Amino acid sequence: MQVDLPLPLLGGLSPAQFMKRYWHKKPLLIRQAIPGMQPLLERNELMDLAARDDVQSRLVIQQGDAAKQPWRLRHGPFTRRSLPPFKQAGWTLLVQSVDLLDTRVQDLREQFRFVPDARLDDVMISYASDGGGVGPHFDSYDVFLLQAQGQRRWRIGRQKDLRLQEGMPLKILADFTPEQEFVLEAGDMLYLPPRYAHDGVAQGECMTYSIGFRAPDQVELAQALLQGMAEQLADAMPPKRYRDPEQLAAECPAHIPANLQAFAQEALFRALRDPDLLSRTLGEHLSEPASAVWFQPQESVCGLEHGICLDRGTRMLYDAKYVFINGESFEASGRDAHLVRQLADRHFLDARECARLSPGAAQLLGQWLECGWLQVLQ
């Protein structure tokens, strides 16, 4: 990835400059990040996705009578007839992970790979009727809000008071104090760091794409890693059973022996001290595909002779020792490691590069192709 070239997508900043000055720090409004932007999906195509039961979608309706509950939230799937008419003001349909469902949106996602893949979450698309929005709120993650069609008025503020209104079906800030306001046109983009308060209201019909990032919570990560390491421990550590030839006769038989406590502690420290086990488990965890992804096994694949690319549901990462793909780890070295890392970074290997793989690596990639993790390069 070229990180020093100025990009229109970042308003003429290079990825290196953007990351240094703005990422995770402060908002950036980019006019015409994608000049002449046309929506990648028509409104009806988005509605079709929202009708699928394997796609996560939500409907937010603002109700005129604020004395009652002003917000209504429903979860999909939605038949077209279960959605409000387009002429009705104040509703929004949000469809999650469209990058996993549509090649055009997947290609858009690729433009944001100056952020490490391990941080990328998904591309959500929202359709809003006039006046629609999800109310003033904050997100816990970095997000690029790309206006794909129509206009949306964003108000944003870096407020510290993040208390939420009680009794709402959505996260709505109790006391939103906007500091800046912009109207985004098709092709404009707003970057927001985590916890920045924002409220986007459609001016006429509009569609917004949210390129969102994930940041693991440390406790959740520890839980996942401990569980993953526990599963691998039997292979990683030679068996060692507790021994107590020095144990004295117990005057207080219910008291847990201090040696047994120390033995338990040592068992955990041994597992945590093994840098290989920890980094392998982390890579496997981070490369787990999204829960909505199903790979289509290929019955008669023609092999690697045409070149290969990642299936759009595949997550592939690597570290100094391992390559991780869809929750599994493989050790690679030499030329194979170089080529397979190239596949992870670029998302494809052409026919010539595939021909340079060792027979063992070619066989492994052939298996990934068969289980639908890779596709033949078109």
Give the interface with ligand SIN as residue ranges (CB under 6 A). Answer: 92, 126, 128, 133-134, 139, 143, 198, 200, 208, 210
Our CB check for ligand SIN shows the closer of 142 and 336 to be: 142
Our CB check for ligand SIN shows the closer of 208 and 329 to be: 208
C-alpha to C-alpha distance for 187 and 202, rounded to whole angstroms: 15
Amino acid in position 378: Q
CB closest to ligand SIN, residue no? 126
Judged by beta carbon, residue 129 or residue 281, the one nearer ligand SIN is: 129
For 293, the token pair is 């992804």
Q: Which among 159, 203, 153, 201 is positioned nearest to 179, based on CA atoms? A: 159
- Nearest residue to Co ion, by Cβ distance, number only: 139
Least separation in angstroms between residue 145's CB and ligand SIN is 6
Q: Give me the helix-helix angle, 258-273 and 218-236, nearest 10°.
A: 100
Tokens representing 83? 């959605």
Angle at 175 between CA 170 and CA 179, to 5 degrees: 110
The answer to whether 280 and 322 have CB atoms below 8 angstroms apart is yes
User: Looking at beta carbons only, is 92 or 149 nearer to Co ion?
Assistant: 92
Minimum Å distance from CB 137 to Co ion?
Answer: 6
Near Co ion by CB under 5 A: residue from 45, 48, 130, 139: 139
CB 201 within 8 A of CB 133: yes
> 210 is in the binding site of which of ligand SIN, Co ion, none (Cβ under 5 to 8 A by kind)?
ligand SIN
What is the Cα–Cα distance from 71 to 90, expressed in whole angstroms? Answer: 10
Choose between 145 and 332: whose C-beta lies nearer to ligand SIN: 145
Query: Considering beta carbons, is residue 134 or 365 the nearer one to ligand SIN?
Result: 134
Q: Is 171 in the site for Co ion (CB under 5 A)?
A: no
Least distance CB 11 / ligand SIN (angstroms): 20
Spatial separation of the C-alpha atoms in residues 329 and 172, rounded to whole Å: 41
Q: Which of 287, 267, 269 is nearest to 120 (CA)?
A: 287
Among Co ion, ligand SIN, none, the one that 97 touches (CB under a kind-dependent 5 to 8 A) is: none
* Contact set with Co ion (CB under 5 A): 139
